[in-house]
Amino acid sequence: MPIDNMFPENGPAGEAGLFEMAPAKINLALHVTGQRADGYHLLESIVTFADRGDVLSFTAAEADDFIVSGRFAHFVPTDAAEGDGNLVPQARDLLRRTLADRGISTTPVAIHLEKNLPVAAGIGGGSADAAATLRGLLRFWEASLPEPELIALCLFLGADVPMCLKGEALMARGIGEELAALPTLPSLPLVLGNPLIGVSTPDIFRRLLRKDNPSIGARDDDWVPFLKTLRNDLEPPARSLVREIDQISNMIGAEGAMLTRMSGSGATCFGIFPSLETARKAVDSLNEQKPDWYFQAVQTIGTEP
């Protein structure tokens, strides 16, 4: 089930515009295996994507526009300033300059981001939005780029953007640019939970005591038992910074999850459940316990179980 099939498209851009899903990215395992001389950390991560996430729409306009709505809209900036700005207009401007250098004209576009995912949550919200912007605008402008050039644009925007652009179950290595598909990874019913406390990725890496941890090693296609042997090396420092991670992980585990773990740099935790029905029942229970937190039942992409 690739990203293209997750959300109904309107077809070619017109007055109705077109849509792109920016699905939640889940690191089922994340091993920190080293650090480069330039400070970037070397990772090995098993990554999958959910059937829920942010949604972007692209509509013809007289001038560029960017608006944000949704549950978490008030947490995100709308300007394109590097550093603290939003990656959506940054991706738009970067792609437009790149296409202009190739003699490809680009018309003004109004972009609407429906922000459904919590921010600074370890599930790739900003990176997924940037990747969806690139996908959507290439369709909107009826343009294309060679894959190496497109991946270079992604890396300029962030280390997680290339994997979000792919949007498939994969193994990510290096700083996120070495991607290998995992065609046997099954579709998994998950519960995502976040206490709505933002986590700074640089802070987590600064607290990481060891940066040359063992790699993931040989893959076993009996996936859930195999995943149980792995880890997220960023979870201990994140737990020391945000105590609610312990609580939310324990809460999801108490609902019957077969495995609980933190995704990315946190604070989102996930639990793997026997079925989507049991995951949804777990979310109902969790929402009763913590109505102000974020809980979502999702089905990930992958082969049918």
Q: Is 253 exposed, middle or buried (0-12, 13-18, 19+ CB in 10 A)?
A: middle
Specify the long-range contacts of residues 302-305, CB closer than 8 Å, at least 24 apart.
302/1, 302/48, 302/169, 302/185, 302/186, 302/187, 302/188, 303/183, 303/184, 303/185, 303/186, 303/187, 304/186, 304/187, 305/186, 305/187, 305/188
Task: Tell me how far CA of residue 174 lies from CA of 87, 127, 140, in angstroms.
Answer: 22, 17, 32
Distance CA 231, CA 212 (A): 14
> Does the N-terminal peptide bond of residue 121 adopt cis geometry, omega within 30 degrees of 0?
no
Q: Are 273 and 279 in contact (CB under 8 A)?
A: yes
Nearest-5° Cα angle at 112, 190 to 53? 5
Whole-number Å distance between alpha carbons of 6 and 163: 17
Query: Catalytic annotation on 51?
Result: no
Q: Which of 115, 160, 166, 233 is catalytic?
A: 160
Q: What 3-state DSSP class applies to 173? A: strand
Sign of the torsion formed by the C-alpha atoms of 103, 58, 268 and 253 = negative
To the query of whether residue 166 is one of the catalytic residues in this protein, the response is no
Per annotation, catalytic residue among 25, 51, 115, 233: 25
Residue type at 146 in one-letter notation: P
Report DSSP letters for 247-258, one per residue.
HHHHHHHHTT-S
Question: Do residues 135 and 281 make contact, with C-beta atoms less than 8 angstroms apart?
Answer: no
Catalytic residues: 25, 160
